[in-house]
Amino acid sequence: MRSVLAILAAATLAAAAPLAAQTPLGTYADAFETRAGANTPAIRYDVRIDTASSRLDVVMHVERAPATVRIAIPRWAPGAYRLVDFAARLRNVRVVTGAGERIVADSALGGHAVWPAPNAAPLAIPGGTFEVRYEIVGDSSPNNRAFLRSSGALLDGPGTYIYLLGQTLAPARVHFAVPAHWRIVTGLRPTLDSASFFAPSYDVLIDSPVLMGDDRSLVVRRLDVEGVPHRVAWWRRPGAPAFDTSAFVAPVPRIVAQVKQIFGWIPYRDYSFLFIDGTGGGLEHLNSTTIGISAAAVARDSLAHADVTAHEYFHHWNVKRIRPIALGPFDYQRVTRTRSLWLSEGVTDYFAGAILRRAGLVTEDAARDALSSSIQSYLANPASSVLAPERSSFTAWDSPVVNHGYSLSYYLSGALLGEILDVRLRARNEASGGVDALMRRLRDRYAGAHGFTDAQLRHEASAVCGCDMSSFFATYVAGGKTLPLGDLAAALGWRLVVERSMAVDSAGEPLPDRRVAIIPYGGTGSAGGAMGGALKLAIGDPTSAWGKAGLATGDTLTAVNGTPVASAAAFRAVLASLAVGDSVTVLARRQGERKVVVHVGGYERVRAHLEELPSLTAAQQRARERWMHGDTLATSR
């Protein structure tokens, strides 16, 4: 363990050194639009939208190809830490070489995400020119990742574009052939042709979703926010309820302004908020985000999207520019693990709440209730005293089976860590800037090509605090000790009250243990079921009746009491019929099919709320003020 003086001395030296992340242009040539050499492949995609057949027809044109190549489609998407079988949606994959030879692969690239398979000889390319022609089966269910309907479509990069293995830094052009009266909204660079776009690399290409739609379904509002152009686009299903579009757009510039206040500048040329009237959730991208929210929800509450919008927008700094060292450069064929998703995703959730508070989009009572709800969800999960945030992060790709059935969202634990860290980092100096300052230090020192390590994160936190934070990280981040939420509440002028009792209905009768669900597509955070695939169970508590029976999150549900379950709604109907004392026979699959009997009993419920202290000290009053409104000091430096 290093001494505090050593840490502060190292921080002083680091501050005195040039911060490369602050000067992204090293020479005039760094600003060239296309960074390619004579031997860099020239790649162009033609994408035709076929609404009649509900499919995409894609032709990938390649010139200056290496003598031998392998083609591939990603197995995962940045920001969504789970494997996805994108290859399963491919049909009629054909490779045509410059010599005219036609090679036919089956629907899933010869049975692999890479073709020819790794154990086979690569494809020889005479003349360095060839084409890949293929079809993609569209999904008609609107969601925040990909769908195709007669009135619009959302193209998800990883599921749309085949690539040359080992050539992800090659620039690409893409042309879209769309139905008449459709418009296109994307973060890709526009060209003189309104249907053609440019990407400086494959990484940028697949990180730039494309939202399309006809004049009636796709509405676009252009905003100038802090001197930078932004777009808010939303696609609505035909017949969807109307809502106040001005009230819907109103939070966006306030969210952007709050994030700029934290970091001091806006790092992109333009930004697109892409909203889809469909399944909820969101996914961040380099200069855009896709967010699913129903028009009905927005009609009821124009701010229904504000929390997820703030979360996904904050990602344009945290993850897209400030990232753990493991998250780049990407290998789209392999699992990419990091122990810092609690920071990248969870602390982003903390900032989402802070942004809404600082922007005046929530009242103090509503903000306190939201914090109480998060604390209650955390304490109600037995994993809170077992599973460390770093472990939750590292095993994000895995079934909870690897953690003995325990599962704790790194979004939830990370958001609460963000709240606690802000208080801890200000313990010696209230004006230190807290977590805001920590994010700025990470940006200044590690944004860009390098990324930060776990040790560098701890070092920067200690520098902000002016103290040694290694023990805190060892106990609460790397260790599995329950977070000190009572201390957090006290620092903000509240008392945390936690009550445990049997869950009962309005008549005082025990409620049956129905703590099991179906993972929706997109899921909670980055977890999720397959799009249009089999039903997968979500069991957050291994001590529940369902966990005790041997089921775990990720198990594929086949049947209940001998009857096949065709939908999440059908499973919910089964759950609604259960009473204490019932037994349920569940047929599930996890490395083979298994039959288990669930004995439904009652269960204990945890309630948590924050009570106002009788009187607040001056320090608590200032902490509460900062919690609601942020620092009043200038944050850029």
Sole residue written with tokens 């697109």: 272
Per-residue b or e along 603-615, where b marks 16 or more CB atoms closer than 10 Å to that residue's CB: beebebbbeeeee
pLDDT value at residue 30: 67
Per-residue pLDDT, 120? 87
CA distance 196 to 210: 12
3-state secondary structure of 291: strand
> In whole angstroms, what is the distance from residue 218 CA to residue 576 CA?
38
Close Cβ partners of 286 (under 8 Å, ≥ 6 residues apart): 187, 204, 207, 208, 268, 316, 320
418 Cβ neighbours under 8 A, 6+ residues apart: 346, 347, 349, 350, 351, 354, 435
- The residue with tokens 């020119």 is 129
Burial 329-366 (b: 16+ CB within 10 A, else e): ebebbeebbbbbbbbbbbbbbbbbbbbbbbbebbeeee
| CA atoms of 47 and 335, how far apart (whole Å) | 28
This prediction's pTM: 0.91
- Answer yes or no: are the C-beta atoms of 544 and 515 closer than 8 Å: yes
Residue 329: C-alpha distances to residues 34, 298, 336, 340 (Å)? 19, 38, 10, 16
Ramachandran angles phi, psi of 35, nearest 5°: -100, 90
Q: To the nearest 10°, the Cα dihedral for 331, 336, 341, 344?
A: -10
How many other β-carbons are positioned within 10 Å of the β-carbon of residue 216? 11
Helices (runs of H) and strands (runs of E) counted in the chain: 19, 30
| SS3 label, residue 390 | helix
User: Exposure string (b/e) for 391-404, b if CB count within 10 Å is 16 or more?
Assistant: bbbbbbeebbbebe
HEC string of 42-75 equals EEEEEEEEECCCCEEEEEEEEECCCCEECEECCC
Distance CA 469, CA 491 (A): 18
* The token pair that represents 52 in the structure block: 């009649």
Nearest-10 crossing angle of helices 410-425, 454-465: 30
Q: Which residue has the tokens 């202290």?
A: 613
Question: What domains are defined for the chain?
Answer: 38-213 (2.60.40.3650), 364-502+612-629 (no CATH), 517-602 (2.30.42.10)
Q: How far apart are the C-alpha atoms of 272 and 210, rounded to whole Å?
A: 10
Q: Which amino acid is at 87?
A: A
- What the block records as the tokens of 397 is 């790709």
Strand, helix or coil for residue 168: coil
How far apart are alpha carbons 18 and 12 in whole angstroms?
12
Angle at 475 between CA 525 and CA 345, to 5 degrees: 20
Beta bridge pairs of residue 114: 72
CA–CA separation, 231 and 288 (whole Å): 9
Q: Cβ distance 276 to 211 under 8 Å?
A: yes
Non-local (6+) Cβ contacts of 163 within 8 A are 71, 72, 73, 74, 202, 332
Helix, strand or coil, per DSSP, at residue 165? coil
Contact 425, 623 (CB under 8 A): no
Q: Which helix (H) or strand (E) holds 209?
A: none
Identify the segments of the chain with pLDDT beneath 50. Answer: 1-18, 22, 523-532, 633-637
In degrees, rounded to 5, the angle at the alpha carbon of residue 507 between the alpha carbons of residues 506 and 512 is 80
3 state DSSP class of 302: coil
Between CA 107 and CA 72 the distance in angstroms is 13
Pairing of strands 288-292, 271-276: parallel
Separation CA 142–CA 58 (nearest Å) = 21
How many Cβ atoms from other residues are within 10 Å of residue 243's Cβ? 19
CB atoms within 10 A of CB 135: 19
